[in-house]
Amino acid sequence: MSAPAALARMTCVEDLRQVARARVPRMFYEYVDSGSWRETTYRANERDFQQLLLRQRVARDISQRTVATTMLGHHVAMPVALAPTGLTGMQHADGEILAARAARDFGVPFTLSTMSICSLEDVAASTGRHPFWFQLYVMRDRTFIEALIERARAANCSALQLTLDLPVMGQRHADIRNGLSVPPRPTLRNLLDLALRTRWCLGMLGTRRRSFGNIVGHVKGVDDMASLAAWTNAQFDPMLSWADVEWIKRRWGGPLVLKGILDAEDARRAVDCGADAIVVSNHGGRQLDGAPSAIRALPAIADAVGRETEVWLDSGVRSGQDVLKARALGARGTMIGRAFLYGLGAFGEAGVTRVLQIIRRELDLTMAFCGRTHIDDVDASILLAPQRAGPWD
C-alpha cells in the first residue's frame, strides 16, 4: 500500500499510534507511551476527558464555522500547539525538523525541547527561520542557560516555555526495563528489536542528528554521549524556585510560558512572576503518579487566574473533542505531545500533518453538533449542566 493510501486510512489518532508501535523501536516507543510508577495519572488524563458529556443542540445555523483563534496574540489555525517532547528525533530521523515543518505549514505553533535531538539552529535553518517556541529546563549551569536563551533569540523563537515540574526525574518503569539511558544500553533484547525496525534504522543511518543537539558541542567537556550522560545527571536543579523564574523572565524579555502547573496557588504565583501563559500539565503522567489529571485540575486554575494570563492545557489531549472540552472548562489553548509523536513515528512529517487534520476535523464537527460556529464562543454551556465544573466534584 502506498504511503498516501495508508495515510488516508488513518481516521483517528489511535490508528497512528498502532502504526507507530510497529515501526518505532520499543525503547523509544515506550518512552512516549508510558507513565511513571503505576501509571494511574497517565491513564486518568484520557479517562477524565471521556467522563465529560457534551450537550448536543439541533436546528441551528452551523453552516459557517471556524476553529481559528489566537495563542499569545498570534493567529493559529486551531487552539492546538505541538508540545515540547524530548528525544523526538528518535521517533523518526530528524523528527523535530519534520514536526516543526508540519506545524508551520498547518498554522499551529511548534515547541522545541531543550532535550531535543535536532538543535535550535537545525530547526531554524530547516524551516526558513519561521518563528517557533523553545522549552527551557532550569539547570545548575546558569551560564549554559544564559547561552541557550541567547541561542533561542538568535533562532527567531517567539516565546520561551519554562518547564517547572521536572526538578527531579519521575520513576518510569518502562524506561528502566528497556535500558533507556544516555547512551542507550545495548541489551540483546534491544538489538533484536532494532533489527526488526528496518525503516527506522535506515532513516537513522541517513542523518547526522543522533545526540542531544542543544547540548553536545555547546558545553565545555561534553563532546559525546558518554560525557553527556555525566553532565545531564548532575544538571537538573532540585533547587528551582520562583526567583529563578523571575530571573529567566528578565533575561529573556519576551513572552514567557510556564508549564507544569497543577495547583491554583502555583497558578497565582506564576501570574505574579509575569507569565504570559500557564500550561496546566502533569507532564503527561510521567512525573508524580497519583496527581490529578490535567483536565480535572483545569477549572480551579482557570477560575484562580481569570483573564490575567492565558491558560492552556497539556496532558491527555488525543482528539478534537478533547480540545473542545478543554476550551469549555477554561483553556485558551491546548498542547499535544503523544498525539503528534504517534503520527511522526508512523509516517514522519506527513503523519504529523495527518494528526493535525484529524484533530481539526473532530474539533469542527463536535463544535457543530454542540450548536456553535466559532471556537471563541465555546464555554461551559456546551457540557451537560452537572458536569460544567467537572464530573469529579
Which one-letter amino acid corresponds to residue 312?
W
Q: Which residue would you say has higher pLDDT here, 234 or 159? A: 159
Residue 182 has pLDDT above 60, yes or no: no
Contacts of 264 (CB under 8 A, 6+ apart): 300, 301, 303, 304
C-alpha cell at 191: 538489538
Q: What are phi and psi of 310, to 5 degrees?
A: -75, 140
C-alpha cell at 361: 476535523
Question: Which of the listed ranges 170-174, 185-189, 231-235, 285-289 does the model predict with the highest average pLDDT?
Answer: 285-289
Q: Output the CA torsion 238→240→241→247 (10° steps).
A: 160
- 283 catalytic, yes or no? yes
CA nearest to 13, candidates 370, 365, 384, 355: 355
* Alpha helices in 130-275, H assignment, sequence order: 142-154, 173-178, 188-195, 198-205, 225-235, 242-252, 264-272
Which helix (H) or strand (E) segment is 312 a member of? strand 310-314
Q: pLDDT tens-digit profile of 277-304?
A: 999 999 999 999 999 999 999 999 999 9
Looking up cell 547526522 gives 208
d(CA 24, CA 91): 6
The fraction of the chain above a pLDDT of 70, given in percent, is 95
Q: pLDDT tens-digit profile of 18-63?
A: 999 999 999 999 999 999 999 999 999 999 999 999 999 999 999 9
- If you average pLDDT over every residue of the chain, what do you get? 93
CB 81 within 8 A of CB 335: yes
Q: pLDDT tens-digit profile of 101-135?
A: 999 999 999 999 999 999 999 999 999 999 999 99
Given the residues 74, 92, 283, 374, the one annotated as active site: 283
Q: Within 13 Å and on the Cβ side, how many CA atoms surround 30? A: 16
